[in-house]
Structure 1
Amino acid sequence: MKKQILVAGGGIGGLAAAIGGARAGWEVRLYERAPAFTEVGAGVQLGPNVVRHLQAWGLQSALQEVASFPDRLAVRCAQGGGELASLGLGSAVVQRYGAAYATIHRADLHGLLRDGAAALADVGWRLGHAVAGYHEDGAAVGLRLVRQTDGAQVEVEGDALVGADGLHSRVRAQLLAEGTTRSRGHLAYRALVSQSALPPSLRSQQVTVWLGPRLHVVHYPVRRGELLNIVAIRHGQAPSDLDAWDHGANAAELEAALARTCTRLQELIRAVPQLGSGWRLWP
């Protein structure tokens, strides 16, 4: 009989673990607390080591359809605007590492992993089941779940457990006797803007990192280059209600923090409330 692996969490990590487990010959059972698969956030950069795994899992075509493949990474001074360093991506990375460097919307990455997992006979999942804890006796591991529809307790057993149940992971907290999550004094403002809505001077198909005192900004294309993902990180005091960790951000607050940066960067930051999805804040 095949060994069974339990996966707690149906995000990017959980679905990747499910695909990897099934392809390694395990029977996978995945449990997700939400009633439907969703993914929060905006963009993510994938190095060639990750892209090689997606290729090995038969997901190269799906990746090509939704990702962007920048040909350059530039590091610039946030105050003066000048270029400090650059790195060739594109074909240079493929030649050196055997796979591309990709930038992708998190929801698109989640979607292609979900479809990849669904195509595997040895992967099954249950939605609407939240992790309450686990126990192990040396021979097996038992996962305690709460069915979200009626609060009923459910217990399942397998040969191994992967805890991919998020920022406030019950599995990690129990395994490592971990305390309450603490803010480290960095605030990340994230936004998506349609490239076609931006002035030509602000559009970009490369990865750009702006470095400044107590802050940095990163932006890169996602969704075939149609959208620009922007992340501005600064030192600051986190909101008091960290349990609701995704907040509508104050654009004026971010603009004030970047008041001494160069004109081009300030223009990009100011364009977000008018042209994009608006800022979301993550401590």
Structure 2
Amino acid sequence: MAAHLLVVGGGIGGLASALALSQRGHRVDVFEQAPAFTEVGAGIQLGPNVTRRLHDLQLAMPLAAIAGEPQALVVRDAGSNAELARMPLANDFRTRYGAPYLCVHRADLQAVLLEAVRARGRGLLSTDARITQIETSDDLACVTATAMRGSEMWACEGDALIGADGLWSAVRRKIVDPDDAPRSTGHTAWRGLVAQATLPASLRRDRVDVWLGPRLHAVAYPVRGGEWLNVVVIAEATSSGEARDWDQMATLGAMAQATGQVGSALQSLLDAVPGWRAWSLFDRPPLAS
């Protein structure tokens, strides 16, 4: 029996849920509080467990068009650049798991999901829609969400509600604990993108490289069909700004203060990235059930 479902959050998780449920014949309404469906961030790695599910959603072709498929994962010493370990990916993973290991830009993946939901979805896609209240009824087996856009308010009724509204989830706050808040991990991730065509051959990548050091770990891998390189450096550091302002412009100098000195090979790659964003990392304690 088809259900009417409400999804709060129009990011990767919310849109993937909406697409999967629509594919099963359900009507799904998606509510996104931002003025448009956009994704903040840079690269994301998708293991075979994820790509298999995306293939099940009939997204194999659009996914291949936006992804980079790394040939291997190589772990290196951040100081000497010596190779510590290597794991084949590409054909090895396709053979072993029946699905590829891919790297994509988060915004590209969200765009693929959004296009599919618009083409195949059975429900509304609402932006600038902030959920202000959630009510459940055991007698009627339904949930009512009150949404707000500016001064306009309206009620949306469905059989169930899925909260996919991210770290600062309004759904979690309303159904679990109004004082529930994310907690800092004490780490910052510096992220940057660089066009591979602008790099010397020695810095270009068709694989995932991971560097390990006493105060950092760094990762670089191809995205957007291999045309761009995503670079991430993580070290112990906390933001001095507001917790919600977790995505900030950053400098290489500020990063170096947290990471300490690195070897020349890694430093050359970091120097080649034209701009950096600093993300203060947060998580949440697990729910009781």
- Deviation at 1:176? 2.5
1:281 pairs, out of 266, 278, 283, with 278
Decide whether the 8 Å contact of 1:73 with 1:208 is kept in 2: yes
Decide whether the 8 Å contact of 2:73 with 2:87 is kept in 1: yes
Q: Who is 2:125 aligned against?
A: 125
How many residues are treated as equivalent by the alignment?
A: 277
Decide whether the 8 Å contact of 2:18 with 2:121 is kept in 1: no
**Gapped runs of 5+ residues in structure 1?**
none
Q: Structure 1 segments of 4 or more deviating over 4 A?
A: none
Task: Supply the distance in 2 between the matched residues of 1:121 and 1:271 (Cα, whole angstroms).
Answer: 42
Q: 1:123 to 1:95 in 2, by over 3 A?
A: farther
Decide whether the 8 Å contact of 1:255 with 1:266 is kept in 2: no
SS at match of 2:234: strand
- Deviation at 1:126? 1.2
Q: Report the TM-score, using the length of structure 1 for normalisation.
A: 0.94
Q: Name the aligned partner's letter for residue 182 of structure 1.
A: R
CA RMSD of aligned residues (A): 1.4
Q: Who is 1:197 aligned against?
A: 198
Q: 1:4 to 1:54 in 2, by over 3 A?
A: same
Decide whether the 8 Å contact of 1:134 with 1:143 is kept in 2: yes
Q: Who is 1:238 aligned against?
A: 239
**Gapped runs of 5+ residues in structure 2?**
281-289
- Deviation at 1:82? 0.9
Decide whether the 8 Å contact of 1:258 with 1:266 is kept in 2: no
Decide whether the 8 Å contact of 2:7 with 2:31 is kept in 1: yes
The Cα offsets for residues 193-219 of structure 1, whole Å up to 9 and x where unpaired, read as 011111211111100111111311011
Q: Name the aligned partner's letter for residue 88 of structure 2.
A: G
Q: Who is 2:172 aligned against?
A: 172
Range that drifts further, 53-62 or 248-257: 248-257
Q: Report the TM-score, using the length of structure 2 for normalisation.
A: 0.92
Identity of matched residues, %:
43
Task: Supply the distance in 2 between the matched residues of 1:33 and 1:237 (Cα, whole angstroms).
Answer: 27
Q: Who is 1:144 aligned against?
A: 146
Decide whether the 8 Å contact of 1:72 with 1:206 is kept in 2: yes
- Deviation at 1:9? 0.8
The Cα offsets for residues 138-165 of structure 1, whole Å up to 9 and x where unpaired, read as 2111112111xx3222211101111011
